[in-house]
Structure 1
Amino acid sequence: MESESHEIGVLASHHSPDGRTSFFVLHDRTATWGIPGEPQLIALHLARDAEARTFTADFVRLPLVSMAQSWLIKRGCPTDVIGLPEGTGTRPADEATVALQRRLMGDGDNFAVLFSYTEDDGPKPEITVLLRALDDRAPYPYRVLLQEVDTGTWTHTLREGGFETFEAADAWLEDRDTPLPLPAPPPLRATGARTPAAPAHPPASATGLRPGRSR
């Protein structure tokens, strides 16, 4: 993390009673001036060794709060203590958004992030994410997440669409000329706690991917 400390905002945090571990959901305010579309959230896990007076830090950049929470939960953070405090960020606009966020917190490690784009420079801020299921047997293995912010009400909606191939998901992200496929695909079955695999590399055609025009 190269940003100055005062440019990193704490959205949520939890510290273990013994002081050995800390979990943070952070917002990097400088990301908006960096690489276009780069994730602005950081999930940070600190582990301290009091006897040796040392610590280790593990972190990852992720596009959505629920994905950052999922990453921390898989590293031992209790689920019910890493939520955003009231008044932090935008509010979910509906129950569908709340339900999807909860599911992502629980099964986020079942997916690899192929691509994400955070658009905050415009009248309709949004975040798009392309995921691939790590289980080859999963239905609709490619998932697109779309979070849209209403700056008038300061709320957001989060929706999910499922695609059978990368090419179909890629085409939707490029054109955005139809709604996300509905209803949303069923959630993957729980696979138990495990260390998430490293994000898979997308095919070469995805390296320059940008979201389609807002409509």
Structure 2
Amino acid sequence: MLPPTDPAPARKFIPQVNFELDDFDANEEKCLDFYRQVAVREDMLVPLAEHHTPHGAHSYYVLFDRTAIYGHPGMPQYVAVHLKRDREKATFDFEQALLPLPAMAQSWLIHRGCPHDAISLDPELGPPPADEATRALERRLAGDGDHHAMGRSYTADDPDDMVTVVALRALDEGAPSPFRVLVEEVDTDAWTHTLREGGFDTVDEALQWCDDRLTGQAGPLPPVRPAAAVGRPTSVAKAAAPRPAGRTR
């Protein structure tokens, strides 16, 4: 998804995040962690979605990090934050994760207690889905994203080819196509995005397809095998997990 500050159809405004922690404290280590991991770039974080439980005990945020394009090439551009506040003690705790796709950030929050229907993305920020296939895949990722572990991602900001590739490993060894690749592509002329998924038998095949896509040499994504096609588990499903997230070229 494009940064909300990039050229695109006019938007009303770019909102700013407010973590509402002025009256809360934590131990020195926790405060320092929150500052280093989140608050240091607070004025550059755009809230794409947020949900607050009654009395503010929990807050969930999907944030776009406008500083990501200035960091290590290919790094994830979305931050999921879960804040927990104890009003009686006036203390707070938090969790955060850097993720390459908004649907993955939604999934991370949903599996930490955020209601599924309460963390929808602001349609004014970023290009909308181009088709029903994209919408359906994003809904599924948000709901069952914990079924896969992320191995590697890369986000390319080339205006002529804005793409994010993500390699995943199924946590269930018997899953069809145990390695998956997600590809999000932004059409800057139509101001829409598509998301597609492919299935692979080995980690090397999945990572090679990602490399080829980033250099413009990839063929079509192979389809994910249906569950009915899976026989007894094989050694392929026990292949090594994808390498840690980083550059793919």
TM over 0.5: yes
**Which residue, 44, 54, 76 being the options, matches 1:7?**
44
Partner of residue 20, structure 2: none
1:98 matches 2:135: yes
For 1:144, what is the secondary structure of its paired residue?
A: strand
Partner of residue 79, structure 2: 42
The count of aligned residue pairs is 196
Matches within 5 A, 1:122-141: 122-141=159-178
CA separation in 2, counterparts of 1:78 and 1:41? 19
Matches within 5 A, 1:166-205: 166-176=203-213, 177-182=218-223, 184-186=224-226, 202-203=242-243
CA separation in 2, counterparts of 1:160 and 1:202? 17
Partner of residue 16, structure 1: 53
Which structure carries more helix by proportion? Answer: 2
Does the CA-based 8 Å contact 2:154-2:246 persist in structure 1?
no
Structure 1 pair 79–138 and aligned structure 2 pair: CA distance change class (3 A): same
Q: Which amino acid aligns with 1:34?
A: G
CA separation in 2, counterparts of 1:4 and 1:64? 19
Shift of 1:73: 0.4
CA separation in 2, counterparts of 1:144 and 1:170? 8
For 1:109, what is the secondary structure of its paired residue?
A: helix
CA separation in 2, counterparts of 1:11 and 1:123? 24
Partner of residue 209, structure 1: 248
1:68 matches 2:105: yes
TM-score using structure 2 length = 0.74
What are structure 1's unaligned runs of at least 5 residues?
188-199, 211-215
Q: What whole-Å deviation, never above 9, does each CA across 1:77-135 have from its counterpart, x for those lacking one?
A: 01111011222211000000001001101110011110000111331211100000111
Looking at CA atoms only, which structure, 1 or 2, has the larger radius of gyration?
2
Q: Which amino acid aligns with 1:178?
A: G
CA separation in 1, counterparts of 2:247 and 2:75? 13
Alignment root-mean-square deviation, CA: 1.9
Structure 1 pair 21–207 and aligned structure 2 pair: CA distance change class (3 A): closer
Q: Which amino acid aligns with 1:117?
A: Y
For 1:93, what is the secondary structure of its paired residue?
A: coil
Does the CA-based 8 Å contact 1:161-1:185 persist in structure 2?
no
Does the CA-based 8 Å contact 2:147-2:171 persist in structure 1?
yes
For 1:158, what is the secondary structure of its paired residue?
A: strand
Does the CA-based 8 Å contact 1:97-1:159 persist in structure 2?
yes
TM-score using structure 1 length = 0.85
Q: Which amino acid aligns with 1:157?
A: T
For 1:172, what is the secondary structure of its paired residue?
A: helix
Percent of counterpart pairs with the same letter? 53
Structure 1 pair 73–179 and aligned structure 2 pair: CA distance change class (3 A): same
